[in-house]
Amino acid sequence: MAGTILSILMLAGVLLTAGGVYAIAKKGDRKRGVLMIVAGLVMFGNVAISAIPGPDLPVMERR
């Protein structure tokens, strides 16, 4: 399930970044375009943080 969510976030990040570039280049809407690019970069950052393997948790010892 986590892989599916990360894939959807990557697709959304690509679409937001491309949409932001389109908004700046074709429509001249700089403010909205920059906000879309920033939102796409935040999504890429979230995926990168989630994909980095963390330290293994120690096993609870039985007493």
- Please give the Cα distance from 11 to 63 (Å, whole number): 48
pLDDT at res. 2: 83
Work out the burial of residue 55: count CB atoms within 10 Å of its CB; fewer than 13 is exposed, 13-18 middle, 19 or more buried: exposed
pTM above 0.85, yes or no: no
9-49 pLDDT, tens digit each: 999 999 999 999 999 999 999 999 999 999 999 999 999 99
pLDDT at 59 over 90: no
